[in-house]
Structure 1
Amino acid sequence: MQAMLYHIHPSLDVSGGGLASFLPAFTTLDRPYNSYPIIGSNAHLETIFANFFRSTPDVRCRRECLRTKDNGTIAIDWVAGDHRNLSSSSPMLILLPGLTGGSETSYIRHMLLRARNKRWRVVVFNSRGCSNSPVTTPQLYSASFLGDIVEVVAHVSSCYPDANLYAAGWSLGGNILVRYLAQESDSCLLSGAVSLCNPFNLVIANEDIRKGFNKYYDKAFATSLSTILKRHALLFEEIDGGYNIPAAANCKSVREFDEALTRFSFGFKSADDYYLKASSSDSIQHVCRPLLCIQAENDPIAPARGIPREAIKENSNCMLIVTPKGGHLGWIAGDEAPFGAPWTDRVVMDFLEYLEKTKSVSV
């Protein structure tokens, strides 16, 4: 009844236990998902085009470095001037980039700009070592580690206690965000969240990234990780505990990096053990805040077969949108294609603005 009332276009696969509650939020789900000609015809072409040719809006940011409980450092970037230009009660949005991404990444900048134009206060969470953020301990970050996001959310919330706080995460950032929502459960400081291109099941994602053309992405991610490690090599030179720093620094795949460094840093028996326990697919059932998940059916890095569809259907706080195409972090469709914002940005803001409106009404 609700789906018919709000006219979901058949090109979109929309489901979830929160479907009836959240459908009124959206203004574009009644329209067909039309990928941009030629570029959108192939998942790899779309993924690569978005990465190299999508525009990157010019936004000035003000960096704040947080010292964590373990003496590490997290860099968060606020939009410059917003502390003067926005109300203390303006809604806030934390953005979590994907693996090795940061505040300079094009999809982050587009989302930041769209939210800022709606007069939301936006802050980007750069994981340790990303976006030239300092590394002060021999530990980077991982899909399993939630300590940093706990501290970032608490800090941002304390800066503007009169504002509602939301978050959006892409790829690995989405995995971390969903796991955080589950861990915090009813105590979560976020009023809602969006997960995009989430690999969900890291065992499946690791299997697929080592096949065929996907090896290109695997090598690219490995190179980015090893570059961050080499930049801070002195910190890692004398650590004990089975680490193989030379292997991590010269890795040719993400799995090699995780086997040599990540699993030791975060206490896992092996890379496989890490992938199994760091997956967010098992976290959905514990999410107690409104959560929108957006995935692409042809995503080569976050495989559709890893989406926890049944768990999302059984949780009244969750909604899932699966587009027929989009690649990974692509979604080159809509009015701004091919060089502008991804198709998802408007959908994300529809959802977040609806949550903010309904929360304000209920208060």
Structure 2
Amino acid sequence: MQRLAMDLRMLSRELSLYLEHQVRVGFFGSGVGLSLILGFSVAYAFYYLSSIAKKPQLVTGGESFNRFLQDHCPVVTETYYPTVWCWESRGQTLLRPFITSKPPVQYRKCVVFNNRGVAGENLLTPRTYCCANTEDLETVIHHVHSLYPSAPFLAAGVSMGGMLLLNYLGKIGPKTPLKAAATFSVGWNTFACSESLEKPLNWLLFNYYLTTCLQSSVNKHRHMFVKQIDMDHVMKAKSIREFDKRFTSVMFGYRTIDDYYTDASPNRRLKSVGIPVLCLNSVDDVFSPSHAIPIETAKQNPNVALVLTSYGGHIGFLEGIWPRQSTYMDRVFKQFVQAMVEHGHELSSM
């Protein structure tokens, strides 16, 4: 509370100085107008600092990983200050692609895994991808490792990519050549994700648009699937669940959509992960509702750390007045990679 009071006094003083120099003569420059503006600003500042800006919840399965992160990746224990004018989940999710720029990162020996049929590539066989089938990712990981066997090898996955990565790690356990991994805004339980995205407002803002994107991605390869899938039926889907029922589950031979969604949910494999994994999620993420985050399962695996922010949306995590260059997610990833590369050996000795 002492820190909150100090922050509030400082913010109030800055607002007063700003208003004194910037507000024009008239109603808003009168004593009444100035008092109203200042009063509202102070009230909002109090609400923001007491209810919005919070330290993330750090859930680890072992004391060693917890201590390692606090020593070498302190950002996961620092207060996250969401953008003051855009902290709500949907706003963060929708605005990030438009207001953030690419971070100034110099890449060295860096590989991006693209799923089949995306990024402008044509399909050579009648098969696409899904977050339950990890064969392609496993092939890529072992290929890269064979090229650079002595390099510290880490992987990161965002949203569906994180689901794929966690399902791979859960299947292969400690046998992976990866030394560590990080995931961001993962959908832990596919059933819960689908249910949340089918709520009217979420369907309007996200579900329908993403469904049309999925339809577009497979329609350009339509000739490859006509013998095994009713593509006309697929193109009439109005939600991700309908698309998965008519296309994805059929493509990968699942008997029902429930069988596919069960296999695709990474929460059921988290206990088998055999390397250090940091998982950043926001509890207000409509793509991955908080009640589906496997907190109790994470506590049972010493290799797993969940970092849960109160706000941030889906791949949002905007911070600062005008978040152009960096987000909280970027800072977490940068510190975690640096910590694992430079100090990862300490985990085995803790």
Q: Please indicate the TM-score interval, normalised by the length of the shorter structure.
A: 0.7 to 0.9
- Asked whether the 8 Å contact 1:43–1:325 carries over to 2, the reply is yes
Shift of 1:260: 0.8
Matched, 1:37 2:84: yes
Shift of 1:299: 0.5
Matched, 1:259 2:245: yes
**Structure 2: where are the runs of 5+ without partners?**
1-52
Structure 2 counterpart of 1:114, from 105, 113, 134: 105
After superposition, residues 24-103 of structure 1 pair within 5 angstroms as 24-40=71-87, 42-55=88-101, 57=102
> Which residue identity does 1:271 align to in structure 2?
I
2:255 alignment partner, SS class: coil
Matched, 1:348 2:337: no
Matched, 1:357 2:346: no
- Which stretch of structure 1 is more off in the superposition, 128-137 or 191-200? 128-137
Q: Which residue of 2 is the match for residue 143 of structure 1?
A: 131
Higher helix share: 2
Q: Which residue of 1 is the match for residue 66 of structure 2?
A: 19
| Distance (Å, rounded) in 2 between the aligned partners of 1:25 and 1:310 | 25
> Which residue identity does 2:172 align to in structure 1?
E
In our comparison, the structure showing a higher alpha carbon Rg is 2
**Structure 1 residues 252, 291: closer, same or farther in 2, change over 3 A?**
same
- Asked whether the 8 Å contact 1:229–1:249 carries over to 2, the reply is no
After superposition, residues 1-363 of structure 1 pair within 5 angstroms as 11-17=55-61, 18-40=65-87, 42-55=88-101, 57=102, 110=103, 113-114=104-105, 116=107, 120-215=108-203, 216-239=205-228, 243-334=229-320, 337-359=322-344
Shift of 1:31: 3.1
Q: Deviations over 1:324-343 (max 9, x none)?
A: 110111110158x4222321
- Asked whether the 8 Å contact 2:55–2:77 carries over to 1, the reply is no
Shift of 1:21: 3.5
| Distance (Å, rounded) in 1 between the aligned partners of 2:94 and 2:276 | 31
Shift of 1:359: 4.0
Shift of 1:114: 3.4
In the superposition, the TM-score normalised over structure 1's length comes to 0.76
| Distance (Å, rounded) in 2 between the aligned partners of 1:202 and 1:276 | 7
| Distance (Å, rounded) in 1 between the aligned partners of 2:239 and 2:265 | 19
| Distance (Å, rounded) in 1 between the aligned partners of 2:78 and 2:131 | 35
Higher strand share: 1
Q: Deviations over 1:299-333 (max 9, x none)?
A: 01111111110111111111111111101111101
Shift of 1:212: 2.4
Shift of 1:115: 6.4
| Distance (Å, rounded) in 1 between the aligned partners of 2:106 and 2:254 | 38
> Which residue identity does 1:220 align to in structure 2?
Y
- Asked whether the 8 Å contact 1:205–1:302 carries over to 2, the reply is yes
Percent identity over paired residues = 28
| Distance (Å, rounded) in 2 between the aligned partners of 1:178 and 1:231 | 29
Q: Deviations over 1:239-277 (max 9, x none)?
A: 3xxx32112133221111111111111121221221112
- Asked whether the 8 Å contact 1:181–1:287 carries over to 2, the reply is yes
1:20 alignment partner, SS class: helix
**Structure 1 residues 30, 228: closer, same or farther in 2, change over 3 A?**
closer
- Asked whether the 8 Å contact 1:19–1:318 carries over to 2, the reply is no
Shift of 1:183: 1.1
Q: Deviations over 1:149-185 (max 9, x none)?
A: 0011011111212211110101111111111111111
| Distance (Å, rounded) in 2 between the aligned partners of 1:30 and 1:44 | 24
| Distance (Å, rounded) in 2 between the aligned partners of 1:51 and 1:202 | 24
- Asked whether the 8 Å contact 1:192–1:289 carries over to 2, the reply is yes
> Which residue identity does 1:197 align to in structure 2?
S
CA RMSD across the alignment: 2.0
2:110 alignment partner, SS class: strand
Equivalent residues, number: 292
| Distance (Å, rounded) in 2 between the aligned partners of 1:227 and 1:308 | 33
Q: Which residue of 2 is the match for residue 106 of structure 1?
A: none
